[in-house]
Structure 1
Amino acid sequence: MDAAAWHMQAMTPPPELPDPMTKAQWSAWSETARASYVRAFRVAMRARPFASPIHERVAERMTASLGSALLEPAGARTILALSAPFSAGKSTMVKAWAQHLHRSVLAGSAPEFLPRWNPTPGLSADTVPVSYVTLLSDSRGTDLYAQLLNFANKDAGGSVRAVVQFAIRALKTHGTRLVVIDDAHMLRTTSVTGRATLNALKHLNTELGELGGVLVLVGADLTGGDVLADPQIRGRLAQHTFGPYEIDTDDGRRAWQRFLKAAETTLLPYLPDNSPGDIAQGLAEYLWIRTTGFVGDASRLLIDGTCHAMNTGQRLDRFAMDPVAVSQRAHDAQQRVELLRRPLALAGPSAGGEDE
């Protein structure tokens, strides 16, 4: 992804949801019209996340940490970090969070073109308030700076020193104030290359701080990993973390039901045979067993289940969602949960008759 594609994503609203239909209107439509309607509903729904209390709470805390970091003096500033398990929605969340910041800076600009500004008299440049790059496996420090240059559509050729200097100059020229590095868990300091990349991150934090910006690291299970264990980084770290929804505590069950209630509010207008509480209460346990609390799987299950219910004229229940495929991770976790929940069979009499 480059800055233009990032800007397009950030500034383009998701497809509009079709207006809900009554049962009478639905019955009057042809099979072709119904199929087209369901496709439009599915596309629009999959393009927008359901409100999630866990993710929203972490996003609010990250915004507060960012606001505090931006008030710090120029130089090495607080580093924000987001750690979550694989598939918990961390990249989706942080992209939405960073793109919201992007829109707040460039509000009103057209999606097709990055607005331009004049960093110095006589010089015009694209405005790139946020840079978003993904750390590659075995990346060198130079690779990190080259990715920043590529994001700004700049040539990354030249010596190591030149690439570093060009990248820092590009951040200044394009007005970048937030650099998000995803998949930071790829960094391993057990190798010379990994240690050099870690040093490059610390150098980037200092240089970005001199420009008034902040560095954000995102990765799977960063907590306790190589990057966040570095003493210099820990001394400047504002760490945020979340996991899937859990239902083994009262607070966890309430949070899970709040997530399902938000989804239910969105879906019920398209489910005339369902009533309030059918999803958030009646299906809460079923949905958790199918997804073990991972929002991505839960969203897919609810949306595709709703589409199945609409196509067949059924209500949304477990029979409408049973055929919906979820990730292999969710399938494996469901099998483990069901095995733990399976009652132990009572032992029958021994082959020898009476107990000895």
Structure 2
Amino acid sequence: MNDSSAGPTGPAGGDSAGSAASFLPPAVLLDRECADGWRRWRLTRHDAPPAPRWSPAQYQAASPRTRGLYDLHRCATHANLAVQETPMSAAVARVVASRIRTNALKRKPSTRAGVMVNGGGYQGKTETVCEVAALFEEWWLELHHQLNPDALPGTRDLHAPVAYVQTPVTATPKSTCEAILDFYGEPHKNMTLPQLVRTVKAALHAHGTKALILDDITRLKMHREADQDVLDLIRSLMSMSVTLVLVGVGIPQSGLLRDSRYDARSGQWVFPPATGRFRSRNDAAGTQTERRFDLIELGPFRYDTAAQIDAWVHHLAGIQDQLRLLKAEPAMLTSAGMPEYLFRRTDGIVGLLERLIEDGCSQAIDSGAERLTTGLLDSVTISLDHLPVRDPAAGEVPAIPAPPSRVPRRKRPRNTSFDDGGTPAATRR
């Protein structure tokens, strides 16, 4: 049944309590930072059913309870907008997918080259990398009939081709190793750093992991006494038969792998020779590590050329197709001055755009406007304050463009009813 024809008896229209089960989130939210949570996210990441499309007449014909369920379903739809591929994310996905797949097929014991994905906060780095990794894991499991090809005979170890780990906010090499072991549920109490590194190596091998994603890697602060520990940790992880994917904000300037410059000819970031405090006891090894990474950029949309404007408008059209507002015009987000307005409000950052649209749709439903206009969106403030898993000090929260200036309220005119206007001209002598 096409969702455009679903009426009050459609997916959101039943009167049974179970009708809401298909779009409400699970009682226990998925946690990608553990193996079971990652697996369940991978299997269900595209399962959120959108609300059917109703006309205003269909909405009015429904019972109050059915309308309430439908409004709830619409809110769930707007809160779970599908992640769309952009020209920038497509370029990143090609590099990451190629590197993971190529390294997984290598037989040689040589060090596997890694990938670093750099970009500002809320630009879709994590979701892009996780989607690529999920597609690889599905391909790898199917290729090996859901079994771990490296498992020892007679064992049934957890098979986890991909491990996703978020670097702790107060990150050190030791706490990062503990976060990796937490993904597998491995014990690590009272271990020293060398013991943790050895245990991490054993866990990655035992569970058949081919790609290790370290998100928010720039939370690892480079202090003088920890420089060697950080470089040693990265070098140790790269020495295993896994593809190391580092995701972070401002990686070239973080000091993690020293300041770098972009080489347009090779399409890679180049690291200069280490000097000063970035010199380690074995600097040649550190340089070798740096040269084994491709550093790729995931930036926001731009609005300078015709091609960039077309890409932005195409992205808005994809979002518009997912919205469920009763009075939405066919080109609500893509006509008149709306594309320019949305770009000014978000600087082309997809995460900020999603937040603005989500909050705007909620207000449009609550107010009965049932459409997005610049006037309605002017009243929506984008706020990313008090995010529990974001570290503003690491650049993970982007600068939000200032809201449009409000038209100043006109002063109420003074009551002149009792003013003395003087003697009328007709009565003057």
Q: Normalised by the size of structure 2, how large is the TM-score?
A: 0.68
1:278 equivalent among 323, 332, 351? 332
Separation in structure 2 between the aligned mates of residue 206 and residue 23 of structure 1, nearest angstrom: 61
Separation in structure 1 between the aligned mates of residue 334 and residue 374 of structure 2, nearest angstrom: 13
2:315 aligns with: 259
1:132 equivalent among 141, 157, 164? 164
1:96 equivalent among 131, 135, 140? 131
Q: Which amino acid aligns with 2:339?
A: A
Cα gap change, 1:115/1:155 in structure 2, threshold over 3 Å: closer, same or farther? farther
Matched, 1:315 2:368: no
Separation in structure 2 between the aligned mates of residue 310 and residue 57 of structure 1, nearest angstrom: 36
Q: Considering only CA atoms, is the larger Rg found in Structure 1 or Structure 2?
A: 2
CA deviation string 1:79-134 (max 9, x = no partner)? 11100112222223323332333333446xxxxxx988881112111111111112
Separation in structure 1 between the aligned mates of residue 293 and residue 372 of structure 2, nearest angstrom: 45
Cα gap change, 1:194/1:2 in structure 2, threshold over 3 Å: closer, same or farther? farther
CA deviation string 1:192-228 (max 9, x = no partner)? 2243022111111112x2xxx2111110011243223
Q: Which amino acid aligns with 2:401?
A: A
Separation in structure 2 between the aligned mates of residue 132 and residue 90 of structure 1, nearest angstrom: 13
2:266 aligns with: none
Separation in structure 1 between the aligned mates of residue 358 and residue 112 of structure 2, nearest angstrom: 42
CA deviation string 1:311-336 (max 9, x = no partner)? 4153322233333332357784135x
2:294 equivalent among 238, 241, 244? 238
Q: Structure 1 stretch 167-176 or stretch 301-310: which is displaced more?
A: 301-310
Q: Structure 1 stretch 215-224 or stretch 135-144: which is displaced more?
A: 135-144
Cα gap change, 1:296/1:75 in structure 2, threshold over 3 Å: closer, same or farther? same
The structural deviation recorded for 1:272 is 4.9
Separation in structure 1 between the aligned mates of residue 256 and residue 49 of structure 2, nearest angstrom: 41
Cα gap change, 1:338/1:52 in structure 2, threshold over 3 Å: closer, same or farther? farther
1:347 aligns with: none
Matched, 1:10 2:64: no
Separation in structure 2 between the aligned mates of residue 134 and residue 243 of structure 1, nearest angstrom: 21
Separation in structure 2 between the aligned mates of residue 178 and residue 75 of structure 1, nearest angstrom: 15
The structural deviation recorded for 1:65 is 3.1
What is the DSSP-based 3-state SS (H/G/I as helix, E as strand, rest coil) of the residue aligned with 2:246? strand
Q: Which amino acid aligns with 2:97?
A: T
What is the DSSP-based 3-state SS (H/G/I as helix, E as strand, rest coil) of the residue aligned with 1:123? coil
1:60 aligns with: 94
Matched, 1:215 2:248: no
Cα gap change, 1:143/1:305 in structure 2, threshold over 3 Å: closer, same or farther? closer
Cα gap change, 1:331/1:276 in structure 2, threshold over 3 Å: closer, same or farther? farther
Q: Does structure 2 retain, via aligned residues, the 8 Å contact 1:83–1:221?
A: yes
1:348 aligns with: none
What is the DSSP-based 3-state SS (H/G/I as helix, E as strand, rest coil) of the residue aligned with 1:132? strand
Separation in structure 2 between the aligned mates of residue 313 and residue 34 of structure 1, nearest angstrom: 16
Q: Structure 1 stretch 157-166 or stretch 275-284: which is displaced more?
A: 157-166
Q: Which runs of 5+ in 2 are unaligned?
A: 1-32, 259-285, 385-396, 407-429
**Greater helix fraction, Structure 1 or Structure 2:** 1
Give the percent of matched residue pairs that are identical in Structure 1 and Structure 2: 22
2:206 aligns with: 173
What is the DSSP-based 3-state SS (H/G/I as helix, E as strand, rest coil) of the residue aligned with 2:177? helix
Q: Which runs of 5+ in 1 are unaligned?
A: 108-113, 340-356
Q: Does structure 1 retain, via aligned residues, the 8 Å contact 2:197–2:236?
A: no
Separation in structure 2 between the aligned mates of residue 197 and residue 330 of structure 1, nearest angstrom: 26
1:303 equivalent among 348, 358, 363? 358
The structural deviation recorded for 1:338 is 6.3
Q: Does structure 2 retain, via aligned residues, the 8 Å contact 1:139–1:197?
A: no
The structural deviation recorded for 1:149 is 1.7
What is the DSSP-based 3-state SS (H/G/I as helix, E as strand, rest coil) of the residue aligned with 1:88? coil
Q: Structure 1 stretch 275-284 or stretch 238-247: which is displaced more?
A: 275-284
Separation in structure 1 between the aligned mates of residue 255 and residue 70 of structure 2, nearest angstrom: 49
CA deviation string 1:284-314 (max 9, x = no partner)? 0111122121111211222332343344153
The structural deviation recorded for 1:163 is 2.6
Separation in structure 1 between the aligned mates of residue 255 and residue 398 of structure 2, nearest angstrom: 28
Cα gap change, 1:338/1:75 in structure 2, threshold over 3 Å: closer, same or farther? farther
Q: Does structure 1 retain, via aligned residues, the 8 Å contact 2:34–2:185?
A: yes
Q: Normalised by the size of structure 1, how large is the TM-score?
A: 0.81
Separation in structure 2 between the aligned mates of residue 164 and residue 88 of structure 1, nearest angstrom: 32
Matched, 1:199 2:218: no
Q: Does structure 2 retain, via aligned residues, the 8 Å contact 1:38–1:307?
A: no
Q: Which amino acid aligns with 1:300?
A: R
* Higher relative contact order (Cα pairs below 8 Å, separated by 6+ residues): 1
What is the DSSP-based 3-state SS (H/G/I as helix, E as strand, rest coil) of the residue aligned with 2:381? coil
Q: Does structure 1 retain, via aligned residues, the 8 Å contact 2:157–2:207?
A: yes
The structural deviation recorded for 1:162 is 3.1
Separation in structure 1 between the aligned mates of residue 35 and residue 81 of structure 2, nearest angstrom: 22
Cα gap change, 1:61/1:166 in structure 2, threshold over 3 Å: closer, same or farther? closer
Q: Does structure 2 retain, via aligned residues, the 8 Å contact 1:189–1:195?
A: no
CA deviation string 1:256-294 (max 9, x = no partner)? 112112112222xx3453333331233101111221211
